[in-house]
Amino acid sequence: MINTEALKNYISLGDSPGFYGYGKWSSEIYIIGIEEAGCYSESLIQQKINRYYELNFGHEGLFDNKLFQGNLTDLCDKNLSNYADFYNGNIKKGGYVPKIATLLKVLEDSNIETFEYVAKYFGSEISNHSLIEILPLPCPTVKDWWYPKWVNLKELDYFVSKKKYREEVIKKRVETIKMKIEKSESRKLVLFLANGKDKIAYWNRISPINLNNYTHKIGSIPYHVDKKIMYVLLPFPGSPSSNGKFNSYEQINIVAKDIKKQFDKI
C-alpha cells in the first residue's frame, strides 16, 4: 500500500516540494508534459511513490537536498527511478522516448548514439534539459485510476476521481513551474508536448500569452519569445496532432535544428 503522507508529499501539497520530473531546474531546456509516464501496474506505482518518500525524507520528514535537486530527480540514477525497464522497452519498440531524445540531442549538440544518450543523459542532472510533469501521478488511463482505494477519502476527497485530483493539484504546480521559468537568470527554451487540442488549456496556463496570439512559426509549429525565454508548442511525436509532420527521425531532426537556430539568437 501507499503511505498517505508519501502520496501527499509526492504531489506537493502542504510544505513538501513534491515530484516535478527529472533533471535540474537550472537547465536551459525544459520539456513539459501533462503527466508522469510508465507504471502500468498498481505495484509499480506504489513502489515509485513509496521509494520517493523514503529517499526524500528522513525520520523527521525533512527534505534531503543531497538526494534531490529541488523538486527534480535524476532519471538515470537507478536508485531513484524504477523506470529503467520501461524506457529501455520503449526504445526497443520504437516509441516516443528515442524521438524525444533525438530532439534533445540536436538542441544540446550531442553526437552520442541514441540508446546511450537515453541511458546516460535523458532526464539526468548532468544534461542541459529537464523533463517536467504538470501532473505528478502515473496514470495510464482514467480506467486505471487506482488511487481512491489507497487513501482516506475523508481526508483526501479529491482522489475520488482523476478530474477532481487534477483540479486540486494543478494550480500550485503550474505556479511553481511558471516561477522557475520566469525567475531564471539564464535563457530558457520551454517546449510543451501536446497530443490533443484539449491539452492546450494546460499550455495557456504556463505561457505568458495565449497560444492564439503567437505570431511566429517554425513550419507549422507556433512559438513565442519573451525576453530570454522561447516558448514552443510541439505535437507529441507520432500522435494524430502531429499531422504526420513530427513523426520520423528525419522530420524531428529538421524541426530541432530550426528551433535551435531561433533559440541561438536569444
Give residue-wise pLDDT tens across range 75-122: 666 554 445 555 555 555 557 888 999 999 999 999 999 888 888 888
State residue 225's pLDDT score.
96
DSSP at 5: H
User: What CA–CA distance (Å, rounded) separates 237 from 15?
Assistant: 36
State residue 97's pLDDT score.
84
Long-range contacts of 37-45 (CB under 8 A, 24+ apart): 37/83, 37/86, 37/138, 38/83, 38/86, 38/87, 38/138, 39/82, 39/83, 39/86, 39/138, 39/140, 40/140, 40/144, 42/146, 44/82, 44/138, 45/2, 45/137, 45/138, 45/146
- The pLDDT profile of the chain, 266 residues, written as one tens digit per residue, is 777 777 877 887 655 667 888 888 899 999 998 887 766 677 778 877 877 777 666 434 433 333 443 467 666 665 544 455 555 555 555 578 889 999 999 999 999 998 888 888 888 889 999 999 888 887 755 567 888 888 888 888 888 988 898 888 888 888 889 989 998 889 999 999 876 676 788 889 999 999 889 999 998 899 999 999 999 999 888 666 666 678 888 999 999 999 999 999 99
The answer regarding whether domain 4-263 maps to CATH 3.40.720 reads no
DSSP at 236: P
Report pLDDT digits (tens) over 42-68.
777 887 787 777 766 643 443 333 344
State residue 64's pLDDT score.
39
3-state DSSP assignment of residue 233 = strand
State residue 80's pLDDT score.
47
